[in-house]
Structure 1
Amino acid sequence: MGRNTRKRRTPLATKAIAASAALVLGGGGLLWAQMNASAHESNNSAQNYTKAAAASSVATISCPDVGQKLTNVPWKARQGVAMELAKLDKQITEAYARLASTRQAQANDANFVQNAIVGPLKEKRAATIDRIRIDITRVGGRFDSSLAQLAACTTQAANQTTAGGGNNNGGQNNGGQNNGGQNNGGQATAAPSASASAPANIGGQAGNGPVAADFVDITRVAPNVLAKPQKQRTASTGTFTTRCGVNANKNHNTDNVIVAPGVANGAHHLHDYVGNQKVNAFATNDSMLAAPSSCQNQSDLSSYYWPVVRVQDGSQDFDQNSDGGGKEGNVGKILTPQSAEIKYVGSPAAKVVAMPQFLRIITGDAKTTTNGLANANAHWSCTGFESKVQLTEQYPICPRGSNVVRTFAFQSCWDGTNIDSANHRTHVAFADPASGVCGNGFKAIPQLTMRLVYKITPPTLQNGQVKNAYAVDGFPEQLHKAATDHDDFISVTKNNLAAKIANCINSGRRCQ
């Protein structure tokens, strides 16, 4: 059956506070076996094209996300569990690479994927999950034995995956700012296929996205941004802006110290870092306190980091042959934002309390292709359209004179006790989208917002192909979908800056 390419608008939905779901904390992935037919073509001017294959020519393997189930891990076990979850991610990455390098064997043997890739993957995952059990029970924690069932990965057709037809119908809530997404007729977007004899890296995102259906002309999208909650008399109306640059000094790495501490290349994709300049997989609270900052306010040692955006115009970058880069499907020239605005804003319903030192927050879900859209918090738009259109499941094609805008609004409610949680979600939450009130006894904190602007030559769509695509870096099995965009933050301040930010916001001032 061919892929349904018709597009339809989905109803705007409210984002649920899914406290038990995880972000990049390991174990879940969608593996694409690329078979038959040419998928990536280049013309004489080296412009890249990516073509979607028919769903029937693409096999998928869906691996359950183990990390999202681990909501109650004892502190003494968290380091060990994080290391094991990172191994689950690495196992999926390795299996994905094997899928991409064995196309001829797959074409010759219908059982190859199951016997040579899926079966061994299950065995590796089972052993890793058992080590997680040992880590937890060794320190007196309780382990749900049903998690052992998550070792198996299943083969699916492309249109059976959660990609493109997620739990939330594309609707998102950014702590009071509701923005709708788009759904491609409820169908998953097929990955580009590759000929059996093609090399493993066939340009674009190494053959795994983006595809034409991942882009939309923003001028053709109906307005979908809802009004913000009405401010109450108790609202905190001030703002605090911190100026930390755009990562012009190219401070990059493929680690993620929040979800994979002590694991090099734990993210499997490249991040831009601004603010704290000494953050990698091995950073500690003490090392971050001693590090320099790119922020003008040198009391702001916080780490602000996000996946890089790359343009697929046939160019390469420094990590073309590196882990987290070209080796894992993240290829093309890295784009530095033209501007990066980092601002803390208040609550429409309450005064805010100061963020605690070393608070960790991750917003969005790097694995929506596997997990669905319940925790997606991606927002893509264009200058001149931000107040009207925000996209979650597609990248915008901006008109002449307009630039791509990528925005984030972090969770603005805190449990009042913990600076992190086992799945990196349950200690923070979004406020009610209608009222802006924090539920479950949570306290309002300054809401971190980011606005990144990129100058990108608009991609063009021709006969089901996209020319000069751009995409966010991600786990290779996530196909570089727009919805996988996410952002990371560690609050590190000195000279009482956290209290000053809260006081500024509560008093209604504009500070920096």
Structure 2
Amino acid sequence: MGRNTRKRRTPLATKAIAASAALVLGGGGLLWAQMNASAHESNNSAQNYTKAAAASSVATISCPDVGQKLTNVPWKARQGVAMELAKLDKQITEAYARLASTRQAQANDANFVQNAIVGPLKEKRAATIDRIRIDITRVGGRFDSSLAQLAACTTQAANQTTAGGGNNNGGQNNGGQNGGQNNGDQATAAPSASASAPANIGGQAGNGPVAADFVDITRVAPNVLAKPQKQRTASTGTFTTRCGVNANKNHNTDNVIVAPGVANGAHHLHDYVGNQKVNAFATNDSMLAAPSSCQNQSDLSSYYWPVVRVQDGSQDFDQNSDGGGKEGNVGKILTPQSAEIKYVGSPAAKVVAMPQFLRIITGDAKTTTNGLANANAHWSCTGFENKVQLTEQYPICPRGSNVVRTFAFQSCWDGTNIDSANHRTHVAFADPASGVCGNGFKAIPQLTMRLVYKITPPTLQNGQVKNAYAVDGFPEQLHKAATDHDDFISVTKNNLAAKIANCINSGRRCQ
């Protein structure tokens, strides 16, 4: 199964106040900590609201993530396997769309979801998993027959998903580690609609976010842990690369790391900075020949992340497109005010240069169904970053403060592979207490990113959210904050990778 690269969770320095503790937000209205399925309504000014509704309604489809179990796929089989994994994502997306469009049929027939959606989905997934088996065994690889059991999917009610359950997972600012869970007191209330009524899950497209996905950051207790103490062998320098904020709107819904050769493999839209020719069909050679948005033209690396949208009733260019409005990603796309991309050192060791074409994904786009084991989302507000970092909720920032997304990538590398079958096991996080890389891994420059957005604060009132914002994602993931993630491909020329490592090891501040 490969090395375990899951982050070690550590207790928070102090308990965060969960969303359910903030019951007086938005004019005294009750905020449900365990949100039931919700019904969408909007007012005459096209401002978005989400509202609590049918308690027994199915919110989303939960399918085991087959790709995360495939840690040992022969190189000759990886392209074929990646294509099949992309088909699994497409099957879930199509099943979720059917789930969302058949609410009345579900209300009329208790067996509809199983017979018309979940059952057929299992059959499609079983056939796809078997093709993965054939791809692997055809080139002499071993296939774990137990993976066939991952064909079956289940359904989740909204209160079974990871967000809105009273947990605020903090993390170190630019430190790469989430803290442990803080379980706040949960408030409950009777549903405002009959259990048999058709329901959706909030947001303009009916799949989130909901009121419980937001929290007033001024009501959250400090939860940021101290960083590991620097040892004498620490690498203390930094290297900043200035690549812009994607003002030129270089977007696509592909993901060449997890779904090479598959258009719309991400099912959501990404911002791209750095390398300007990255899509599903990009190759190492094409990236080397591409232009870069970075001031340092030796930096051809690709830095890409899901866009953030404001759900105030507005639309954007992809309202009727795959990966956009057709898959639940709706609203005006926000361009960050600033995007700081910085490589930092290790508190415990000197770093080695990143290998050419190293691929790293940090976070998990599917935490709503996978759980939080690989979550690495950090949401905060300017003026609060050193005190509060949120994983499972979006912050409501006070006046004069902006929303901040922070990413801190894995900083330990196995010394051999530029990627792995599940895109995780070739890299790992350092120990959160000591900063030491385990399992014989080597410290590499840690990529950190800080994106700042000017967003009109959402308001919460009577269990509803007005003018929500959310990160793009797979539609069945309900736009939860914990699904935030970031992608990176290291592509450099003129010996830049070595220069970055040397700068960091010598304790300098470079750019």
TM over 0.5: yes
8 Å contact 1:52–1:191 — kept in the other structure? Answer: no
Report how many aligned residue pairs link the two structures.
511
**Separation (CA, whole Å) in 1 of partners of 2:275 and 2:214:** 34
**Separation (CA, whole Å) in 1 of partners of 2:108 and 2:2:** 22
**Separation (CA, whole Å) in 2 of partners of 1:6 and 1:237:** 25
8 Å contact 1:53–1:190 — kept in the other structure? Answer: no
8 Å contact 1:380–1:392 — kept in the other structure? Answer: yes
Deviates more, 1:157-166 or 1:420-429: 157-166
**Separation (CA, whole Å) in 2 of partners of 1:419 and 1:284:** 14
Deviation at 1:241, TM superposition (A): 0.3
Cα-Cα RMSD? 7.8
8 Å contact 1:355–1:491 — kept in the other structure? Answer: yes
Q: Which segments of 5 or more consecutive residues in structure 2 lack a partner in the other structure?
A: none
TM-score by length of 1: 0.89
- Corresponding residue number in structure 2 for 1:51: 51
8 Å contact 1:268–1:475 — kept in the other structure? Answer: yes
CA offset digits 1:203-245 (Å, max 9, x no partner): 8341110011100000110000011011111111100000000
CA offset digits 1:469-504 (Å, max 9, x no partner): 000000000000000000000000000000000000
2:416 equivalent to 1:417: yes
Give secondary structure in 1 for the equivalent of 2:313. coil
**Separation (CA, whole Å) in 2 of partners of 1:227 and 1:510:** 22
8 Å contact 2:164–2:393 — kept in the other structure? Answer: no
Deviates more, 1:251-260 or 1:4-13: 4-13
Q: 1:202 to 1:221 in 2, by over 3 A?
A: closer
Deviation at 1:57, TM superposition (A): 2.8
Deviates more, 1:146-155 or 1:163-172: 163-172
Q: 1:159 to 1:186 in 2, by over 3 A?
A: farther
**Separation (CA, whole Å) in 2 of partners of 1:99 and 1:55:** 16
**Separation (CA, whole Å) in 2 of partners of 1:192 and 1:6:** 37
Deviation at 1:154, TM superposition (A): 2.2
CA offset digits 1:291-340 (Å, max 9, x no partner): 00000000000000000000011100000000000000000000000000
**Separation (CA, whole Å) in 2 of partners of 1:449 and 1:20:** 31
- Corresponding residue number in structure 1 for 2:406: 407
Give secondary structure in 2 for the equivalent of 1:448. strand
Deviates more, 1:104-113 or 1:424-433: 104-113
8 Å contact 1:208–1:479 — kept in the other structure? Answer: yes
Q: 1:120 to 1:172 in 2, by over 3 A?
A: farther
Give secondary structure in 1 for the equivalent of 2:97. helix
8 Å contact 1:25–1:260 — kept in the other structure? Answer: no
2:230 equivalent to 1:205: no
Q: 1:192 to 1:324 in 2, by over 3 A?
A: farther
8 Å contact 1:246–1:336 — kept in the other structure? Answer: yes
Deviation at 1:44, TM superposition (A): 2.0
**Separation (CA, whole Å) in 2 of partners of 1:38 and 1:20:** 17
Q: 1:465 to 1:12 in 2, by over 3 A?
A: same
Deviation at 1:110, TM superposition (A): 1.2
**Separation (CA, whole Å) in 1 of partners of 2:370 and 2:381:** 27
Deviation at 1:202, TM superposition (A): 9.9
Q: 1:487 to 1:369 in 2, by over 3 A?
A: same
**Separation (CA, whole Å) in 2 of partners of 1:326 and 1:371:** 24
Deviates more, 1:129-138 or 1:151-160: 151-160
Give secondary structure in 2 for the equivalent of 1:82. helix
Deviation at 1:50, TM superposition (A): 1.2
Give secondary structure in 1 for the equivalent of 2:41. strand
Q: 1:158 to 1:258 in 2, by over 3 A?
A: same
**Separation (CA, whole Å) in 1 of partners of 2:32 and 2:91:** 14
Q: Which segments of 5 or more consecutive residues in structure 1 lack a partner in the other structure?
A: none
Q: 1:40 to 1:16 in 2, by over 3 A?
A: closer
Give the percent of matched residue pairs that are identical in Structure 1 and Structure 2: 100
Give secondary structure in 2 for the equivalent of 1:369. helix
CA offset digits 1:79-108 (Å, max 9, x no partner): 000000000000000001111111221121
**Separation (CA, whole Å) in 2 of partners of 1:63 and 1:410:** 26
Q: 1:75 to 1:149 in 2, by over 3 A?
A: same
**Separation (CA, whole Å) in 2 of partners of 1:94 and 1:322:** 14
Deviation at 1:153, TM superposition (A): 1.2
8 Å contact 1:314–1:332 — kept in the other structure? Answer: yes
Deviates more, 1:49-58 or 1:489-498: 49-58
**Separation (CA, whole Å) in 2 of partners of 1:149 and 1:211:** 32
TM-score by length of 2: 0.89
8 Å contact 2:40–2:49 — kept in the other structure? Answer: yes
Deviation at 1:191, TM superposition (A): 16
Deviation at 1:158, TM superposition (A): 3.9
Deviates more, 1:313-322 or 1:27-36: 27-36
CA offset digits 1:114-152 (Å, max 9, x no partner): 111111101100000000000000000000001111111
Q: 1:17 to 1:253 in 2, by over 3 A?
A: farther
